[in-house]
Chain A
Amino acid sequence: MIKSAFTRRSILATGSGLALALALTACGGNVASTGSTADASKFPAGPVTLTIGADPGGSTDLIGRALAENASGPLGAPIPVVNKPGANGALATKEVGSSKPDGQTLVILNASLFAITPLAVSEGEKVKIEDYEVITGISQDDYVLVSNTSSGMETMDDLTKAGKKFNFATTGVGTGSQLAQALLFKQAKIDGTDVPFDGGSPAMTALLGNQVDLATIQLAEAMPQIKAGKLNPIVVFSKDRNQYLPDTPTAVEAGYDVPVSQFRAVAAPKGTPEAVLTKLRESFKKAFESDAYKAFNKQNLFTAAEIDGDQVAKDWSANAAKYKELTVKYDVDLGGGK
């Protein structure tokens, strides 16, 4: 362990040294240029903190840590990860939103917090994407509707023809899991009861034990059980088929207007200088290109969605509007008849 830690450190040191040298030469060329460049040349002034609004060990945390590890070399500064769980991530997101816009404090954003959670929670917990400078999109994490193999339910047709009432497990109120299922069942005219659980693993446990009939959980959580033949994947909720589950149709293909995925992005407070954002963007781009990061995505079944920051903001706002419209159209209430 000691040995490997040392090699890692020396690589990191070499990497940051190199980056520093490059940065210095780059600055030398345009000392007398605009103010924003001067800001950028001072950046990063010390460690860049990456805040994560979730407990250690979850998907958001894993992604944040993988990104931090691979981007700190190109950035030329350490990127310590700080977990501040609370209110589905709203706590950390709001806190970073109001911190100094100098690029030294960043946050991982979850699309669901902006597009789905506001449909269920009180005013004080809502956040708006317009209040952040999105640096870049990161990846996409898909939801899959699963049934216990012992139920014999394999396709949407099986569900619509069953003519029975289904209890479906969600990973909680105001999550993509709840929204996707509620919309799907309303559109397919399937009678279902929404049973919220505290996260993906309890929801899956309940389904494996036949405590509920269906569940929608994140692909990485469901995959081992799908491979073992314990769970049937019925549909995935992504726009296009998921690369790791190529034989499972999407809900859209099955004829339902339910495109729901979890997207993640990294952002800085509003007002961060453009030059600083550019520098960060380049460092994250280098991280995305590294083999270690690509392998990480593959192991955790994430689909790269390294979309331009401005586009992310547009997409998420559009999604928020679309989900709102769909819930109104199909009379879906995520707050459970509040």
Chain B
Amino acid sequence: MDFLAPVINGFGVVLEPMNLLYCLIGVVIGMLIGVLPGLGPAATIAILLPLTYGVEPVTAIIMLSGIFYGAQYGGTITSVLLRLPGEASSVVTVFDGYALARQGRAGTALGIAAIGSFFGGTVAIIGLTLLAPIVAGFALSFGPPEYTVLAMLGILLVATVSNGSKLKSIIAASLGLLLATVGRDTFTGEARFTFDNLSLADGLDFVPIAMGIFGLGEILYNLEERHNKVQAPAKVANVWPSRKDLKESSGAIGRGSVLGFFLGILPGGGATIASLAAYAMEKKRAKNPERFGRGAVEGVAAPESANNAAATSSFIPLLTLGIPANATMAIIFGALLIQGVTPGPQLVQNDPELFWGVVNSMYIGNILLLIMSIPLVGVFVKILRVRAAILAPITVLITLIGVYTINNSIFDIWLVIVFGLLGYLMKKFGFEPGPLVLAFVLGALLEENLRRSLLVFGGDAAGFVSRPISGILLLVFLIVMLLPLLQKAFKKAFKKARTPAPAVEAHHDEKERV
């Protein structure tokens, strides 16, 4: 009971009217900036920071964290409706979310995403409440070698998640890896592919690439398509997910939430890999994996639960260890300092009211978000009823303004246009944009950590195998890579032994078990 007393006190803190109000303000702002492409939670929090100077520390942090997880909810909306993923962790949501929207099932996708997000967030908060001190060490035991293998695993999964031809996926992914090398070398300061342009010195940014390849590319492609044949605006058949949809996605939501919680603890890249792995897992488990990418509800449910769970669990390193896991956490770290609170290992003991107040506010915030999103789904899907001739230019305009606001840079606008053209050409020739964008994000993670690991090991690659976590991850990597080959070999052997007819049966069995 000793353990629960501060938790319950924390609820007392949250339920003060002032804190509830700030929680509401936070999640509303968060949701709105999530919908706007470009402006992310980190920048918003930095800009709104002065507004919190005058209030209690706990109230301030409740609002700022509300902005952060509220933005995760909002980001889904553009991914599904307009094919504009605002963050790397929502790229995979686009695959099935947008496909569902085109089939007139945008409401289903958004509804499932909201429920999955709520569930993922809540699972992660419960995890945060009960397990935070235990799992915090997880973040520390992940060094450069572990990240290296995790990134390798991620890149391997990229091949699994795409639908088109394998060769085209590999070409797209290779291009993504190549794009990740642009910019100043992190280890030598050497300029790579920057063409003496200072705007390229820090490399390419995720947002302009994703906005261009996914969003603008799709708009350009649709313009051409409509020119050739008359196309009715997408119907909006149902707004609510049916009971069947819920049943189909419940397992995906559960698995995605747990995966997201654990990977979200890892600073840097955790959320992206979580959403990717959750999607890949559902596709592997599915009886008909070919449904994925063509509008499978699990394909929205799994990554959305995972990235929300990851967003919540990224508070664990900050609140229990004093380590900010991403840019937004770094700003909340700064906000705590300004409030005279030292974020660090002693926070739970020194400021239990703040710790539990903030943690418990997330339960309330998630409920508020769910209550808000369900009716808003009905409003947002109406966007799709707008004629493309009106919707397309507005989307382009908002995208370009949104991208400009990130770095206040005209250069980024040009990037969107260039990648928009690339996205259009890719779609025209049957290349999927997903592998490119995901490989781009993971490529940087892989290169940096591989080189860092080798520095730490003094050049001896055996270190990857001898460290327990990286060793196990490496084993998983090998299994994921070799399993399909083994299965193929096995099937061939089987085919030879038996007559063709039962072999087909066995084939199906095999798939189900996998």
Answer yes or no: B407 CB below 8 A from chain A CBs.
Answer: yes
Given the known A-B contacts A122-B191, A211-B143, are A87 and B42 also in contact in the complex, defined by CB atoms under 8 Å? no
B345 touches A228 (CB 8 A): yes
Taking CB atoms, residues of chain B closer than 8 Å to A223 are: 342
B343 touches A212 (CB 8 A): no
Q: How far is the CB of B136 from chain A (nearest CB, A)?
A: 10
Question: Which residues of chain A from 207 to 266 have a CB within 8 Å of any chain B CB?
Answer: 208-212, 220, 223-225, 227-228, 230
Taking CB atoms, residues of chain B closer than 8 Å to A62 are: 334
A85 touches B201 (CB 8 A): no
Mind listing 17 A-B residue pairs with CB under 8 Å? A57-B334, A65-B49, A82-B408, A86-B198, A86-B409, A91-B201, A122-B190, A122-B191, A122-B196, A125-B184, A167-B455, A196-B187, A201-B323, A201-B324, A212-B456, A224-B345, A224-B346
Q: Given A124-B191, A173-B188, A224-B322, list of 12 further CB < 8 A pairs?
A: A1-B54, A56-B47, A83-B407, A91-B198, A193-B458, A195-B455, A196-B186, A208-B321, A209-B143, A211-B143, A224-B343, A224-B346
Point out which of A58, A124, A209, A299 has the most chain B C-beta atoms below 10 A from its C-beta.
A209
What 0/1 readout, one digit per residue, does chain B (327-348) give for beta carbons within 8 Å of chain A? 1001100100110101111100
Given the known A-B contacts A55-B327, A195-B456, A337-B188, are A86 and B143 also in contact in the complex, defined by CB atoms under 8 Å? no
B344 touches A209 (CB 8 A): no
A56 nearest CB neighbor, chain B only: B46
Taking CB atoms, residues of chain A closer than 8 Å to B268 are: 202
B interface residue numbers (CB < 8 A to A): 22, 25, 42-43, 45-47, 49-51, 53-55, 139-144, 184-191, 196, 198-199, 201-202, 267-268, 317, 321-324, 327, 330-331, 334, 337-338, 340, 342-346, 407-409, 448, 452, 455-456, 458
- The CA of A295 and the CA of B145, in the complex, are separated in Å by 42
Given the known A-B contacts A56-B46, A57-B327, A211-B144, are A87 and B201 also in contact in the complex, defined by CB atoms under 8 Å? yes
A51 nearest CB neighbor, chain B only: B408
Answer yes or no: A133 CB below 8 A from chain B CBs.
Answer: no
Taking CB atoms, residues of chain A closer than 8 Å to B458 are: 165, 193
A: number of interface residues (CB 8 Å): 63
A296 nearest CB neighbor, chain B only: B338
Taking CB atoms, residues of chain B closer than 8 Å to A124 are: 191, 196, 198
Taking CB atoms, residues of chain A closer than 8 Å to B184 are: 87, 121, 125, 173
B331 touches A57 (CB 8 A): yes
Given the known A-B contacts A57-B331, A338-B190, are A225 and B198 also in contact in the complex, defined by CB atoms under 8 Å? no
Taking CB atoms, residues of chain A closer than 8 Å to B196 are: 122, 124
Q: How far is the CB of A181 from chain B (nearest CB, A)?
A: 14
What 0/1 readout, one digit per residue, does chain A (189-208) give for beta carbons within 8 Å of chain B? 00001111110011011101
A125 touches B201 (CB 8 A): yes
Taking CB atoms, residues of chain A closer than 8 Å to B42 are: 55-57
B188 touches A1 (CB 8 A): no
Taking CB atoms, residues of chain B closer than 8 Å to A121 are: 184, 189, 191
A interface residue numbers (CB < 8 A to B): 1, 4-5, 8, 55-58, 61-62, 65, 69, 82-88, 90-91, 94, 120-122, 124-125, 165, 167, 172-174, 193-198, 201-202, 204-206, 208-212, 220, 223-225, 227-228, 230, 296, 299-300, 334-338
Given the known A-B contacts A62-B334, A208-B140, are A86 and B202 also in contact in the complex, defined by CB atoms under 8 Å? yes
- The CA of A82 and the CA of B139, in the complex, are separated in Å by 34
Taking CB atoms, residues of chain A closer than 8 Å to B331 are: 56-57
Taking CB atoms, residues of chain B closer than 8 Å to A122 are: 189-191, 196
Please list the 5 inter-chain residue pairs (A to B) with the smallest Cβ-Cβ separation, ordered nearest first.
A56-B46, A224-B344, A209-B140, A211-B143, A87-B201
B266 nearest CB neighbor, chain A only: A205
Given the known A-B contacts A227-B344, A336-B187, are A56 and B455 also in contact in the complex, defined by CB atoms under 8 Å? no
- The CA of A186 and the CA of B90, in the complex, are separated in Å by 46
- The CA of A338 and the CA of B191, in the complex, are separated in Å by 11
Q: How far is the CB of A299 from chain B (nearest CB, A)?
A: 6
Q: How far is the CB of B163 from chain A (nearest CB, A)?
A: 33
A57 touches B456 (CB 8 A): no
Q: How far is the CB of B181 from chain A (nearest CB, A)?
A: 15
Q: How far is the CB of A172 from chain B (nearest CB, A)?
A: 7
- The CA of A88 and the CA of B198, in the complex, are separated in Å by 10
Q: How far is the CB of A316 from chain B (nearest CB, A)?
A: 20
Taking CB atoms, residues of chain A closer than 8 Å to B49 are: 65
B323 touches A204 (CB 8 A): yes
A299 touches B337 (CB 8 A): yes
Taking CB atoms, residues of chain A closer than 8 Å to B334 are: 57, 62, 300
- The CA of A37 and the CA of B336, in the complex, are separated in Å by 44
- The CA of A38 and the CA of B415, in the complex, are separated in Å by 43
Taking CB atoms, residues of chain A closer than 8 Å to B338 are: 296, 299-300
Taking CB atoms, residues of chain A closer than 8 Å to B53 are: 4
A225 touches B345 (CB 8 A): yes
B407 touches A84 (CB 8 A): yes
Given the known A-B contacts A124-B198, A167-B455, A209-B142, are A228 and B346 also in contact in the complex, defined by CB atoms under 8 Å? yes
- The CA of A94 and the CA of B327, in the complex, are separated in Å by 25
B196 nearest CB neighbor, chain A only: A124
A125 nearest CB neighbor, chain B only: B201
B137 nearest CB neighbor, chain A only: A209
- The CA of A56 and the CA of B407, in the complex, are separated in Å by 10
B191 touches A69 (CB 8 A): no
